[in-house]
């Protein structure tokens, strides 16, 4: 049996983002960024699951930019889930996200039907943020 001192240090956190689409006449161009690193930049037409890792001491900033080329009826991008090492950030903490769109609306939502930018930012290291919002106490800052 291993004790606390035998466990290896955690060096990174696995981030998973699942997006779906609500089909209409045209598909939007979607850019997905995690901490300013582009994970997806293409015309969005089907379910996609994106995976990356971040350093254990990093903040988490997820941005989803939706662009439409014309005024036709557009498909909506649906944020199915965002997890960090299995901890559900979306949809559980949707109220902490902002979605600034073409209608100047900043309401939190998981359906991105208009051109704009959806973003969630922990503004502190992710593990500290998780402990704070889930009520698991606090972690010592190194």
d(C-alpha 65, C-alpha 20), whole Å: 14
Q: Which residues pair with 79 in a beta bridge?
A: 19
pLDDT (0 to 100) of residue 63: 96
pLDDT tens across 58-68, in order? Answer: 999 999 999 87
Specify the pLDDT at position 141.
62
Evaluate whether residue 52 is within a structural domain: yes
Residue 99 domain flag: yes
Model confidence at 3, pLDDT cuts 50, 70, 90, reads very low
> Is there a domain that residue 57 lies in?
yes
Give the pLDDT confidence score for residue 70 in this predicted structure: 58
Q: What is the mean pLDDT of the chain?
A: 84
Q: Which of 59, 54, 94 is nearest to 78 (CA)?
A: 94
Classify residue 104: in a domain, yes or no: yes
Over range 43-71, report the average pLDDT.
88
Q: What CATH number has the domain bearing residue 22?
A: 2.60.60.40
Number of domains in the chain: 1
The reported pLDDT for the residue numbered 6 is: 45
Q: What is the pLDDT of residue 65?
A: 93
Does residue 7 form part of some domain?
Answer: no
Which residues span the domain enclosing 32?
A: 13-134
pTM: 0.85
For 96, left (φ over 0), alpha (ψ -120 to 50), or beta? alpha
Q: Is residue 108 part of a domain?
A: yes
Predicted local confidence at residue 127, as pLDDT: 85
């Amino acid at each position: 049996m291993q004790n606390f001192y035998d466990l290896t240090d955690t060096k990174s956190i696995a981030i998973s983002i699942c997006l779906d689409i609500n089909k209409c006449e045209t598909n939007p161009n979607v850019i997905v960024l995690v901490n300013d690193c582009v994970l997806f930049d293409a015309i969005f037409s089907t379910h996609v699951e994106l995976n990356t890792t971040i350093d254990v001491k990093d903040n988490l900033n997820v941005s989803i930019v939706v662009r439409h080329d014309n005024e036709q009826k557009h498909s909506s991008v649906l944020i199915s889930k965002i997890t960090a090492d299995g901890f559900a950030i979306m949809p559980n903490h949707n109220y902490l996200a902002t979605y600034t769109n073409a209608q100047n609306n900043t309401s939190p939502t998981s359906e991105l039907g208009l051109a704009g930018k959806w973003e969630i930012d922990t503004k502190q290291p992710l593990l500290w943020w998780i402990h704070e919002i889930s009520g698991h106490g606090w972690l010592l800052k190194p």
